Amino acid sequence: MNENIFLNQIKQIGIGLAFIIFPMLFIFAFAVHPGLLQPHMLSPVEIILRAHGNELLQFGHVLVTLSTTLLIVVALQFMRLLDRSSGAWAGFIGAAIAILGIICLAADKGALCLTMSAYDTLPETVFAQIMPGVLSMFTKQGWLVLLWGILFLPIGFAIQAIALLKTHTFPRWQSILFLIGVLLVATPDGLEIINLSASILMAIAFVPYGIQIIAKALRLFSARIGRSGIILADTGPIKRY
């Protein structure tokens, strides 16, 4: 029984960390994009040339890829919050749609961004020769068209945010920031200043919530440890002298 209680507290701490870490990773990833203060729409060729040889940008893409696991935790946590309210179905449908978009986000970063880091190891003359193939990837030719499924991510989370707002399951101000942030974070390449602002809004909404979850888990864990200590002391062997 005690092991199950301990495991549950560890899970809660993990959930809290997910709410803290994921927006921070997004902030870093968008902040390292070049031309942040000169926003303009980019063509596929400009996106390729911007990423080519930019190790810091590639590292940001690695962090976003890893953060997809944290996004799934967030979607499931909001589904659980809404589970006992009138927004239960919205929580479930929103989570399902968001997770589909999260999978597409991971595929997008793997296919387009992490692959670019491999191309960066090639001589410039070779890279120029394979440019038509790289361009076909960034214009999402063939089955790469499925990467447009990334749009399911903001749609799914927006459904959850609206449900949280209507059911008052989550504080109103945090739900509003969540909704605005998740809708703006899908802004196209070249306008990363908007994505960065959206990530900051989500950090303002989520980091306090993550800290609250962790603090509650630690308090409960400490309280149970304290009670266990009292019980052990009371039931210990009686020494006779």
Which band of pLDDT confidence, cut at 50, 70 and 90, is reported for residue 225? low
Give CA–CA dist 25/203, Å, rounded: 10
Structure-token pair, residue 64: 């976003």
Q: What is the DSSP string of 88-129?
A: HHHHHHHHHHHHHHHHHHHHHIIIIIIHHHHHTTS-HHHHHH
When pLDDT is averaged across residues 225-234 and rounded to a whole number, the result is 52
Q: Note the residue count of the chain.
A: 241
- pTM higher than the cut 0.85: yes
Report pLDDT for 184. 95
Which band of pLDDT confidence, cut at 50, 70 and 90, is reported for residue 229? low
pLDDT in tens, 162-219: 999 999 999 999 999 999 999 999 898 889 999 999 999 999 999 999 999 999 988 8
- The residue ranking higher by pLDDT, 166 or 6, is 166
Sign of CA dihedral 208, 105, 190, 112: positive
Report pLDDT for 2. 62
Structure-token pair, residue 234: 């009371």
DSSP 113: I
Report pLDDT for 240. 41
pLDDT in tens, 117-140: 899 999 999 999 999 999 999 999
Percent of the chain with pLDDT over 90: 74
pLDDT in tens, 71-102: 999 999 999 999 989 999 999 999 999 999 99
Q: Is the pLDDT of residue 232 over 50?
A: no
Structure-token pair, residue 28: 């870093």
Nearest to 36 by CA among 56, 17, 16: 56
In 3-state terms, what secondary structure has residue 130? coil
pLDDT in tens, 15-72: 999 999 999 999 999 999 998 889 889 999 999 999 898 999 999 999 999 999 999 9
Report pLDDT for 239. 43
When pLDDT is averaged across residues 93-119 and rounded to a whole number, the result is 92
Q: Is the pLDDT of residue 107 over 90?
A: yes
Nearest to 72 by CA among 101, 39, 32: 101
Report pLDDT for 238. 37
For residue 46, with 0-12 CB atoms within 10 Å meaning exposed, 13-18 middle and 19 or more buried, which class applies? middle
Report pLDDT for 88. 95
